[in-house]
Amino acid sequence: MRACLLLVLTVWLNTKDGSGARSSPCALPPSKWCSSLDSAFQCGVLKQCLESNFTRSHEAAEKVSLGLYYESLCPGCRQFLTLIIFPTWVLLNEIMDVELVPYGNAVERHEGQKYTFQCQHGEPECLGNMIETCVMNKSRNAFQIIYCMESSADVIKSAESCAQIYDPELNWSSIMTCVNGDQGNQLMHLNAVKTASLVPSHQYVPWVTINGKHTEDLQEKAMSSLFTLVCSMYQGPKPEACGGSHRRFKSYCHNV
């Protein structure tokens, strides 16, 4: 304990400016008070900060990572993404990451300085794949936009309106510049490389990986009950949605 106090005092002394006066980290928002031992000490929250850091270091666990290799116009892919993956992610995003790779059974050819792509469901699917790839590169709300596209009657025609709903500040012209330019071409090439690098090689779409691995058992569990699979595989404290510790309420409306 004495050593800890000496460490805190040393840090505090070393952060004084040349005039001997101290700045006031407590003028910052409370969320910043634990950013250093000095600020925690000055603001009188050292114990709370140390306990918080200790708790986080012992409770932190890697999120369950789901990879979806799919095609934008594949009916089975669209159903799986919109009816299973997205709702599960909404409930479990604090313990679950999703990587979308729109390419699937496409074929890539290198012609000159660019790559060309032939998609299973024709040119519209290649366009859908490219739009979704560029959206992921440009928007923090890409999953929501892609969900909106894939759940609509027309994946392509709904793209811009979906972007306006879920990311109003997104410049749609930047998406189309990506789609029609070198950036989109290179991004789609990366999707092709990721798909070709799968071990084992994909045999169909949607193709699922969990924490980078694919087995038929994991695929079946993901398709039938992804929510249960993610909850069971997460190694940290279970969130409330997974049945972790939470308050239980009973409320009845009695017949008077």
Domains and CATH numbers, the chain: 2-14+24-59 (no CATH), 64-233 (3.40.30.10)
Q: Is the pLDDT of residue 56 over 60?
A: no
Which pLDDT band holds residue 23 (cuts at 50, 70, 90)? low
Q: What share of the chain is helix, strand, coil (3-state, %, to 5)?
A: 55, 10, 35
Q: What is the pLDDT of residue 9?
A: 42
Q: Is the pLDDT of residue 195 over 70?
A: yes
Which pLDDT band holds residue 21 (cuts at 50, 70, 90)? very low
C-alpha span between 223 and 245 (Å, rounded): 27
Which pLDDT band holds residue 182 (cuts at 50, 70, 90)? very high
Across 174-181, average pLDDT: 98
Is 0.85 surpassed by the pTM of this model?
A: no
Between the CA of residue 168 and those of 50, 79, 112, 176, 180, what are the distances in Å? 40, 26, 37, 16, 22
Residue pair 120/74 in contact (Cβ under 8 Å)? The answer is yes
Q: Is the pLDDT of residue 130 over 90?
A: yes
* Vertex 223 angle, CA 237 and 86, to 5°: 65
Which pLDDT band holds residue 59 (cuts at 50, 70, 90)? low
Q: What is the pLDDT of residue 46?
A: 74
C-alpha span between 92 and 85 (Å, rounded): 10
